[in-house]
Amino acid sequence: MKQSNRTKLLLAAELKQIAKLKPFARITVSELCQRCGVDRRTFYYHFRDVYDLSAWIFNQTVDACMTERDGYYDAAELALVMDAFCSDPDFYRRALAEDSQNSLGRHVLQHNVTMFEAAARKIRGTEELSAEDSFDIRYHSCGSLFSIRRWLFSECRESPEEMARLLLHAAPPIIKEIYRFEQEEKGARSDA
């Protein structure tokens, strides 16, 4: 593993530990670097701030769990992302509680909109989505983020699999198409 990846992983692991102890807004780069034994310049070589690091952590999680295949995603992979959130609840609760300009919540929202729009364009074979599809994607991304926050703060009462199923059940047609969820639901009903 490259040294730069080891440094990023070290910073990420320590940020998760600090997030167990205090609100995200009170975590400083100085404190993080001191606890890791890393120079501040090294931190700033990789990240703009702790919010940028939290976005990197989220991206690593999603990239490890989800794979786009010709514009489509697997609903089971969404459950893996939910499971990763449940595995690090303190970090995600603290990071998603923030709503500042560079917060993780805003990053997640933009990430999801970008991901879903790209998938929808690929599936539809078009450069431009309809106004309705674009709206549905933004609306679903906002609603999903809100629901995930509530789920995390309620101690993940539903299983990750159930949470993924509920998110897709409530999704507009374009999102269900991206996950091929309607076909899965119809298949499950006909099997019963």
CB of 47 within 8 A of CB of 9? no
| pLDDT given at position 182 | 67
Count how many Cα atoms sit within 13 Å of the Cα of residue 146 in the half-sphere of its side chain.
7
Question: How confident is the model over 37-87, as pLDDT tens digits?
Answer: 999 999 999 999 999 999 999 999 999 999 999 999 999 999 999 999 999
Position 4 pLDDT exceeds 80:
no
Predicted confidence (pLDDT) at residue 156 exceeds the cutoff of 80: yes
pLDDT at 1: 63
Give residue 184's pLDDT band: very low, low, confident or very high (50, 70, 90): low
- Model-level pTM? 0.89
Cβ atoms of residues 33 and 43 within 8 Å: yes
Instruction: Compute the chain's Rg from CA coordinates.
Output: 18
The mean pLDDT of the chain is 92
Strands (DSSP E) along 1-125, which ranges?
A: none
Identify the pLDDT of residue 21.
93
> 13-45: per-residue pLDDT in tens?
999 999 999 999 999 999 999 999 999 999 999
CA distance 33 to 41: 9
Q: Are 10 and 38 in contact (CB under 8 A)?
A: yes
pLDDT at 187 over 70: no
pLDDT of residue 76: 94
Q: Where are the domains of the chain?
A: 49-191
Strand partners, 9: none
Class for domain 49-191, per CATH? mainly alpha
Question: Which is nearest to 116 in space by CA: 152, 78, 154?
Answer: 78
Average confidence (pLDDT) over 118-134: 96
Give the pair of three-digit tokens for residue 78.
Answer: 């969404």
What is the predicted pLDDT for the residue at 167? 97
Question: What per-residue confidence (pLDDT) applies to 185?
Answer: 58
SS3 call for 78: helix
